[in-house]
Amino acid sequence: MSDDERIEREVLAASVEWGLNPPQPGSGIAEDAYLAPQAAETVLQAMVAEYKWLSEWVDLAKNAALAAVTVEVAQAANAPRLHQIALKQTADEAGAKLARIDLPNDVNVQQVLECFAKLQRVAARKPDVYL
C-alpha cells in the first residue's frame, strides 16, 4: 500500500470518527493531520475563484521571490560579477511587475494574502505515515 493510500484510509477513518461523534467548535479538528490538508485545499480553491487577482499576484510574487533569492545564492556562491548583475536586473524587473499589479480597494489584501499563505502550508502538510 502506498503512502497516499494509507493517508486516504486515515482520512476515511477520521471522517467516520467525526461522523460518529462530531467535535464541538474549537475542539482542534481543524488541526487534524489528515483532514486539515484536504480542507485547506478546498478553501484555497474558493479563494482563487473569489479573488480574481489572487492567482496573478501569487505568480508574480513567486517569480519575484525566486529571482531575489537567486541573486543572493549567486552572491553567496561568488558567481561572476556579470552574472550577478544580470540576475539582479531580472530580480528588479520581477519586483517591479509585482508592484504594478492593480489590487482591489474593497478587500483587506494583506489579510487575504496572509490567509492564502497559511492555507498553502496546511495544504502542503503530508502526515507522517508509519508502517
Give residue 32's pLDDT.
Answer: 82
Give residue 60's pLDDT.
Answer: 97
CB count within 10 Å of CB 68 equals 17
Those residues of the chain that have pLDDT short of 50 are 130-131
Give residue 128's pLDDT.
Answer: 64
Listed in order, strand segments (DSSP E) in 10-100 are none
